[in-house]
Amino acid sequence: MAAIDPGRGLSARAARKYLFALALAACLEKTACAKTDVQFILNSMYQSGHGGKQVYDGSGDQSLTLFEPVLYIDSSIDHNTSIFGSVVLDALTAASAKAFDSATGASNHGKPTNPGGASWQTREGADLGFSKRTGSWAFTPTAGYSSELSYRSAHGGLNVQKFLAEDNFVLSGGVFHFSDAANPWDLAKKDFAGFKSKTTNSANVSATQILGQRDIALAGLSYTAQNGFLEGTRNTVSTGTVTERASEVLPQDREKWTANARYVHALGANTAFHLDYRYYTDSWNIRANTWEPSLAFSFSEDTKVLRVLYRRYSQSAAKYYADSFAGTRDFMTSDSDLAEFTANEGGVQLSGSWEGEDGTDWEAGGTALYYRRSNDLQAVIVQLSLTAKF
């Protein structure tokens, strides 16, 4: 993902990953135990802004519309064993992609679209995981893939947990591998350049401690190494006038380090305060800080939960970033996700549960977020979910 601010940028993959993370977080936070959970989530996002220096036609238009249905299934084999997975099929259209297609036909294999028309692209993907607890240990291997016109990805990983002090203290560690490939558009040849590989390896560790009846704390560290084709498949830079553009060029390796902390405090029987902090740094000289406080309220005998969210994010620019370049350089990017900016986000989440006449437990939820950042980008994100527990 090009963006450091997850899911907030021109990159459609970044947007998808952010929406997927929202959905996954919703799944992981469920505490009800059921033999089988089937959850359908519909994600949508509309993004606008005219500060995208990487946009091919020089307009800066970063508008993006994304629709993403996701189906999750989690089936418990026994109290200590479960199998879970998801399938996704999404579609998007972006102003910058339309402008690019009109001039090059990049997403239509040499057949330019109507300049005023929408150019939809689709992606499909699937993930599968297995979780097994043995004594005080829990092992969770996962694997998955996704495919679209100019990008494909396959990944696998293993997460291990150790439960101590009657499960009041949990150590967690994971390793993950992504084998990806991107198919960039060659501006000179007016054709796809062919798939180029990218590998990502990451490792993380964390510790969670129940401090008392009202408090929980978590701290974690992660490291990620990327190698291969790290440019965007359509990102360009200005090397003179608006009409003189070239594809961005970035190093073939990147290292990322992240430290994060979370504190949860119960303010009362039905209210809890969450505070998350994350510090990020990488070998491209980006430094970022994220603060995310939230309040959660439960009511109607804990069958409904309302959460109010706020997020403050700031980052420095990558050392290869500039709005434009006087000629070509070894490395150059004008991707707005790699510029210096600050961002604010606010929103609400609401969920409720009830029991059906046939004994099935149901849960419905919704999330609405508004995002705005200092380099002229804003987005509205909506997520709806429906879960059946058999």
**pLDDT grade, residue 188 (50/70/90)?**
confident
d(CA 11, CA 52): 11
> What pTM was estimated for this model as a whole?
0.87
| pLDDT for the residue 110 | 46
Burial 232-260 (b: 16+ CB within 10 A, else e): bbbbbbbeeeeeebbbbbbeeebebebeb
Query: What domains appear along the chain, each with residue ranges and CATH number?
Result: 12-389 (2.40.160.40)
Query: Over the stretch 158-172, which tens digit does the pLDDT of each residue have?
Result: 999 999 999 999 999
Task: Residue 33: name the closest of 98, 93, 81 by CA.
Answer: 81
**Whether residue 30 has pLDDT greater than 60:** no
d(CA 131, CA 160): 10
> What does pLDDT average to over the chain?
88
| pLDDT for the residue 364 | 96
Query: Over the stretch 110-156, which tens digit does the pLDDT of each residue have?
Result: 454 444 445 678 889 999 999 999 999 999 999 999 999 889 999 99
Query: Over the stretch 190-219, which tens digit does the pLDDT of each residue have?
Result: 888 999 999 999 999 999 999 988 999 999
d(CA 345, CA 292): 9
**Whether residue 384 has pLDDT greater than 80:** yes
